[in-house]
Amino acid sequence: MIKFDGVTKVYGDKVKAVDDVSFEVPEGNIVVFLGPSGCGKTTTLRMVNRLESITEGKIFVNGTDVNSLNQIELRRNIGYVIQHNGLFPNMTIEDNVMAVPNLLSWDRKKKTDRYNHLMDLIGLNPDEYRKRYPHELSGGQQQRVGIARAMAADPPVMLMDEPFGALDPVIRSRIQNEFLQIQQEVKKTILFVSHDIDEAIKMGDGIAIFEGGKLMQYDSPSELLARPKNEFVREFVGQDRALKSLSLHTVKDLISERMLRKADGLQKHNKKTITVETNLRDALSILLNQEADQLFVQANNKLVGAMRIDDVEAYLHHHIK
């Protein structure tokens, strides 16, 4: 658990980069810090491992005030991932991943086991990459290694500063999915800086929106989209917030609200089959792309019914607005 209590950062005499920010991040959650550049999100993140000093207020990690700890020890116990991966070009992949265990002087056997485990986790062959150097890897692979390095000493908390920001959209989306899967397994408490609302909705259990150093709103993604607290948040999440919120709901949610249509008789129309796990935004996209008049919905490989645009619309009115 991470707790921010009246945290303020002042540069020089009067520039307030972060202004009296208070909120709590429950254990095992991903909270995305969102906002335009210069809004204070990165500074807030960097105060947690004291890469920036805290001017006023307190930050607690699992109940301990970070200012009461030795800053080197503190950092070794917090995973840290940055945008341009920051892998050390002079070290092999193994030495990069094992950077923190090396600092902590783990024994050889423990290090080798941990390295193998982490590489398997991020989907790279441990032996193939062991003696290679960062420049021999693609951007996506480097970023994966950066994540493995952050998790090396199994820290309960991870800080990620736009970790996928430099990747192209296809790779980014793939790594986001992989990372969510890894998170299912490791259940870290993660602070994640992003400037991309879609990424925040996808990755976050909670989203904290910053502007001018102030915390504008801290809520779950669906709450944030459904009930923006003020004009800034409303504008930042965009005109299409209803549409965006659809990606948080699946066909299953829709079924629990309303019956599906019968899937018979209409088979002569062009049709497309989706599963109940499909999110409603994708379902709507398929319908709007006129790939089909209606979608056939499958659960466990069995046809359970059909849906049309009106169904999504009705769900949206009833549930989200």
Partner 1 sequence: MNKRLVSFVIKLILFTLVMSFFAWSFKSGYYQLIIDDAEGFIFLLIQHIHMVALSSFLAIVLAIPMGILVTRPKFQKLQWLFMNTANLGQTIPSLAILALAMTWMGIGFKPAVFALFLYSLLPILRNTVAGIKSIDPDLLDAAKGIGYTPAQILLKIELPNAAYPIMAGIRTAVVINIGTAALAYLVGGGGLGDWIFTGIMMRDNSYLLSGAIPVTLLALLADQLIRAAEKLIVSKGLRPSAAVSD
What residue ranges bind partner 1 (CB under 8 A)?
49, 51, 72-77, 79-80, 82-92, 99-100, 103, 133-141, 149-150, 159, 171
Of 73 and 120, the one with the shorter C-beta distance to partner 1 is: 73
Of 4 and 80, the one with the shorter C-beta distance to partner 1 is: 80
The least distance separating partner 1 from the CB of residue 147, rounded to whole angstroms, comes to 12
In sequence order, the 6+-apart residues with CB closer than 8 A to the CB of 273 are 295, 296, 297, 298, 303
Tokens of 77: 């116990």
Of 97 and 260, the one with the shorter C-beta distance to partner 1 is: 97
The least distance separating partner 1 from the CB of residue 46, rounded to whole angstroms, comes to 8
Q: How many other β-carbons are positioned within 10 Å of the β-carbon of residue 124?
A: 18
- Distance CA(268)–CA(252), nearest Å, equals 25
Of 34 and 100, the one with the shorter C-beta distance to partner 1 is: 100
> Which long-range contacts link 309-315 to residues 24+ away (Cβ below 8 Å)?
309/284, 311/254, 311/258, 311/260, 311/261, 312/246, 312/254, 312/280, 312/283, 312/284, 312/287, 314/258, 315/249, 315/253, 315/254, 315/257, 315/258, 315/280
The least distance separating partner 1 from the CB of residue 319, rounded to whole angstroms, comes to 39
The least distance separating partner 1 from the CB of residue 231, rounded to whole angstroms, comes to 35
In sequence order, the 6+-apart residues with CB closer than 8 A to the CB of 92 are 130, 131, 132, 133
Of 22 and 138, the one with the shorter C-beta distance to partner 1 is: 138
Of 100 and 200, the one with the shorter C-beta distance to partner 1 is: 100
- Strand partners of residue 194: 34
Of 51 and 304, the one with the shorter C-beta distance to partner 1 is: 51
Contact 156, 62 (CB under 8 A): yes
The least distance separating partner 1 from the CB of residue 284, rounded to whole angstroms, comes to 30
> Which long-range contacts link 104-112 to residues 24+ away (Cβ below 8 Å)?
104/76, 104/153
The least distance separating partner 1 from the CB of residue 23, rounded to whole angstroms, comes to 22
Closest CA to 160 of 116, 204, 122, 123: 204
The least distance separating partner 1 from the CB of residue 65, rounded to whole angstroms, comes to 18
Q: How many other β-carbons are positioned within 10 Å of the β-carbon of residue 115?
A: 21
Angle between helices 108-121 and 139-151 (to 10 degrees): 130
Of 189 and 294, the one with the shorter C-beta distance to partner 1 is: 189
Contact 42, 95 (CB under 8 A): no
The least distance separating partner 1 from the CB of residue 100, rounded to whole angstroms, comes to 5
Tokens of 187: 């259940």
The least distance separating partner 1 from the CB of residue 190, rounded to whole angstroms, comes to 15
Three-class SS state of 275 = strand
Of 33 and 236, the one with the shorter C-beta distance to partner 1 is: 33
